[in-house]
Amino acid sequence: MFTVNIVVVGATGAVGEALIEALDEADFTSGDLYLAASESSVGETKMYKKRPVLVEDLASFDFSRVQLAFFAVPEQVSRDCAELVVSAGCQLIDFSACFRDDPAVPLMVAGVNSHVLEGGADNLVALPDSLTVDLSHVLYPIHQDVEVVRLNVATYQAVSSAGQKGIKELAGQTASLLNGLPVEAEAFAQQIAFNVIPEVGGLLDSGHSRAEVGLVGELRCVLEDAALAVSATCVQVPVFYGSCQVVNIETRYPYAVDEVISVLNADEDVNIFSASSNQQCPAPITVADMAARGCCVGRIRASIGVENGIDLWIVSDNVRKSAVKNAIAVAKLLLKDSL
């Protein structure tokens, strides 16, 4: 346990609420926990260590009161506040996409590229998207053993990846449609209830979506392989929690299915679902209560017609497991190195 004061910025959002709960369960610090958010959320309370904690106004929060700040907010908010936080001597861990492309800021998946903390930006660490976290844990040991030369991935992303607004939109649209009422799309490009949307984050002139470009860039950065050939298609699906990925991996050298299972079993953040053990294939609804580990991997098999090809399926609670668990692991390493 650390003795540090912490602030969760964006405390009323989907990630912020999950982070508060996880910090409580992990008994992370014996210090104080502060909560901050935009003016519209000021005065709300969240439970921590069996007592209510008041949400304060981010605009007037004094970061010299804390040693660690988690930012679970839109990237513009992170951009506006980062200098103030760091200048107060506070460690900042940012969930947004704001600093993911900045070569001076470590982009970190704990247990995969933890060494990037050495010589990084003072007091600032960026976290990749939850999809990148899961995919990195799966690809890293395979890449180390037999070199991944090409990757095809299709993602099926839960609405919680868009925060509370995504959750509320799916719930509201579902209720309206079941009652014969019209709906309007606000959080997503189209109606999300009873629908699948083949674009996430908006389309660029290249035809790729922002989410696809982000996933490719983040993965190359975390795996430290700028030449890795990656093709990604990101899809929004009407599921509240639990993002999924269909992955086809091509390696430079042969790699048997048993070897894949063995190397992934060595990672405490990966849970293998094996057909030989008659386990049910992992799905968002079946992995929701699996708190012990991060992502779940199943359907591991040799590709048909692709030499040195491996096909597999990844699913994880994108908020509670992938994003939040990685953030806490990064915080532990950051504080350990700074104390």
Q: What percent of the chain is predicted at pLDDT more than 70?
A: 94
Please tell me the distance from the alpha carbon of residue 42 to that of residue 19, in angstroms, as a whole number: 18
- Do the domain assignments include residue 110? yes
120 shares a domain with 241:
no
183 shares a domain with 38:
no
Domain total in the chain: 2
294 shares a domain with 184:
yes
Residue span of the structural domain in which 144 resides: 132-318
Torsion of CA 27, 329, 327, 127, to 10 degrees: 170
260 shares a domain with 138:
yes
279 shares a domain with 217:
yes
143 shares a domain with 94:
no
Please tell me the distance from the alpha carbon of residue 228 to that of residue 326, in angstroms, as a whole number: 23
Q: pLDDT for 90-126, tens place per residue?
A: 999 999 999 999 999 999 999 999 999 886 666 899 9
181 shares a domain with 243:
yes
| Residue 293, pLDDT score | 64
Say which CATH number the domain at 38 has.
3.40.50.720
Q: Characterise 201 by phi-psi region: left (phi > 0), alpha (psi -120 to 50), beta (else).
A: left
Q: pLDDT for 224-248, tens place per residue?
A: 999 999 999 999 999 999 999 999 9
302-306 contact pairs (CB < 8 A, 24+) = 302/256, 302/257, 303/248, 303/250, 306/248, 306/250
| Residue 317, pLDDT score | 92
**Beta-bridge mates of residue 291:** none
Torsion of CA 141, 243, 33, 79, to 10 degrees: 90
235 shares a domain with 257:
yes
The 10 Å CB-count burial string (b at 16+, else e) for 12-24 is: bbbbbbbbbebbe
For residue 31, what are its two tokens?
Answer: 């210090």
Sign of the CA dihedral running 12, 15, 19, 21:
positive
Q: What number is the average pLDDT over the span 156-171?
A: 96
- Do the domain assignments include residue 155? yes
- Do the domain assignments include residue 1? no
Please tell me the distance from the alpha carbon of residue 27 to that of residue 330, in angstroms, as a whole number: 16
339 has pLDDT over 60: no
284 shares a domain with 167:
yes
205 shares a domain with 259:
yes
182 shares a domain with 123:
no
Rg, C-alpha atoms of the chain: 20
Is residue 60 within 8 A of residue 39, CB to CB? The reply is: no
SS (H, E, C) 254-313: CCCHHHHHHHHHCCCCEEECCHHHCCCCCCHHHHCCCCCCCEEEEEEEECCCCCCEEEEE
- Report the predicted TM-score, pTM, of the whole model to 2 decimal places: 0.93
- Which phi and psi angles does 128 have, rounded to 5°? -75, 170
Q: pLDDT for 170-227, tens place per residue?
A: 999 999 999 999 999 999 999 999 999 999 999 999 999 999 999 999 999 999 999 9
Please tell me the distance from the alpha carbon of residue 50 to that of residue 55, in angstroms, as a whole number: 16
Q: What number is the average pLDDT over the span 34-44?
A: 94
Is residue 309 within 8 A of residue 254, CB to CB? The reply is: no
50 shares a domain with 14:
yes
- Do the domain assignments include residue 312? yes
- Do the domain assignments include residue 59? yes
| Residue 334, pLDDT score | 87
- Do the domain assignments include residue 54? yes
Average pLDDT over the chain, rounded to an integer: 93
